[in-house]
Amino acid sequence: MKTFNIPVFYKSPVISKVKEIRKITDPRKKDFSPTLLDFGPVRFYIARHFGFCYGVENAIEISYRAIEENPDKRIYLLSQMIHNQEVNNDLLERGAKFLMDTAGNQIIPFSELKKEDIVIIPAFGTTLAIEQELNKAGIEVRKYDTTCPFVERVWKKAEKLGEDNYTIIIHGKYKHEETRATFSRSETNAPSLIVKDIYEAQLLGNYILGTLSDAAFEATFKGRYSDNFKPGEHLARIGVINQTTMLATETQEIVDYLKGIMATKYAGEDIKLHFADTRDTLCYATNENQDATYGLLEKSADLAIVVGGYNSSNTSHLVELCEEKLPTYFISSAREIVSENTINHFNYAKQEHLSTHNYLPNKLPVDIILTSGASCPDSLIDAVLQKILSFYPDSRDIETVIEELKTKQ
């Protein structure tokens, strides 16, 4: 796989070494068990897979190259390049500016752009309408386009479904940049509809079977289907794609459910006439990170700490998985760990910031699960680990633990 030129300050003296050791011992990535770092009074279970993925490293390399190659030009990020505030803030400090926020609201009008300006397309991609606006301004859209290749793979799948006359069902968060970009392309290929979760898929299934009214369909899906969408006509032949960072098990549940609905409605007919046999369209990193989280949860631990951007979809799903088993703290960086008694963290479901006291149990050793989303630098995980270690002055030194890990593997 291609290697990328990533700024050295995103790497770390501990986590990067752990990853290298695991890469040597498990080159085929078949072992999803975590790495145990035993510091004595505190022990960390480190996920087998986490942190920067191919698409994120690609986006970071292109973004920093754009800044380096154009010192005398105005440089704009279309919106957040990835969903990690530390990375975005560093790009802003180097002179880049946002054209839009993550919801698509304009910060700087396109009319102010000049053809010599540089615009960086984020890893999520962007809509066809925004591309047209940039083209009108004379911007070379493809020059610094960081769209993840796995997102582009979903777009190609949508194109193929449209060619085969299937209506496209998108499992995704309809306000998310990636889903907006995918929908803008999918609706040019075929009638398209976005479902957020299995609950909405079930409402869609009820409509297909005739037990949900047109009014109820409209109330649920208004603003989330393509122009001239005719549910009574366009839901006779469907295929499912998804936002690449959604929970894999939920996507599969939606696929299985809708396939069952079509088999019921068209009993006796070839199911392929009504339901496309699409392969899962989550990216490899999302799958690996989620599988690695399941591997983490096979261990007995006192708490979990998940590090990442608070608007990161893939990170939020890791939090959901951990929350099902043990106390979980979703933090953006080590700064949220105020002391050994207090941690500030984020409730993704309620979109609120919380502060919890006595989060570290009064016992020894303390066992902590530690992981992050695909847009989180290893350096942030490293800082979290070292901040926790500072609360345990009798901990074994890091070099000894790493050397011990090398001999055990």
Mean of pLDDT values over 166-170: 97
Nearest to 224 by CA among 252, 201, 254, 251: 201
- Tracing tokens 């109330």 back to the chain, one arrives at 219
Residue 149 · residue 173 · CB < 8 Å: no
pLDDT at 164 over 80: yes
Domain architecture of the chain: domains with CATH: 8-53+284-408 (3.40.1010.20), 54-136 (3.40.50.11270), 149-273 (3.40.1010.20)
Higher-pLDDT residue of 248 and 394 is 394
Mean of pLDDT values over 7-11: 82
Take residue 311 and report the two structure tokens written for it. Answer: 């608007």
pTM of the model: 0.89
Q: Which residues contact 337 (CB under 8 A, 6 or more apart)?
A: 331, 343, 344, 384, 387, 388
Mean of pLDDT values over 35-45: 97
pLDDT at 137: 95
Residue 183 · residue 170 · CB < 8 Å: yes
pLDDT at 1 over 60: no
Mean of pLDDT values over 66-88: 92
pLDDT at 40 over 60: yes
pLDDT at 3 over 80: no
pLDDT at 13 over 90: no
Describe the crossing of helices 284-296 and 313-323 by its angle, rounded to 10 degrees: 20
Q: Model confidence at 81, in pLDDT bands (50, 70, 90)?
A: confident
d(C-alpha 212, C-alpha 249), whole Å? 26
319-364: per-residue pLDDT in tens? Answer: 999 999 999 999 999 999 999 999 999 999 999 999 999 999 999 9
Q: Which residues contact 160 (CB under 8 A, 6 or more apart)?
A: none
pLDDT at 29 over 90: no
pLDDT at 10: 85
- Tracing tokens 């995918």 back to the chain, one arrives at 182
Q: Model confidence at 280, in pLDDT bands (50, 70, 90)?
A: low
Mean of pLDDT values over 253-280: 93
pLDDT at 248: 85
202-230: per-residue pLDDT in tens? Answer: 999 999 999 999 999 999 999 999 999 99
Edge-to-edge strand list for the sheet holding 328-331: 35-38, 42-46, 366-372, 303-307, 328-331
Per the annotation, the verdict on 178 as an active-site residue is: yes
91-137: per-residue pLDDT in tens? Answer: 999 999 999 998 889 999 999 999 999 999 999 999 999 999 999 99
Catalytic member of 57, 131, 133, 178: 178
Amino acid (one-letter) located at 307: V
Q: Model confidence at 409, in pLDDT bands (50, 70, 90)?
A: low
Q: How far from chain centre, in Å, is Cα 136?
A: 31
82-94: per-residue pLDDT in tens? Answer: 888 889 999 999 9
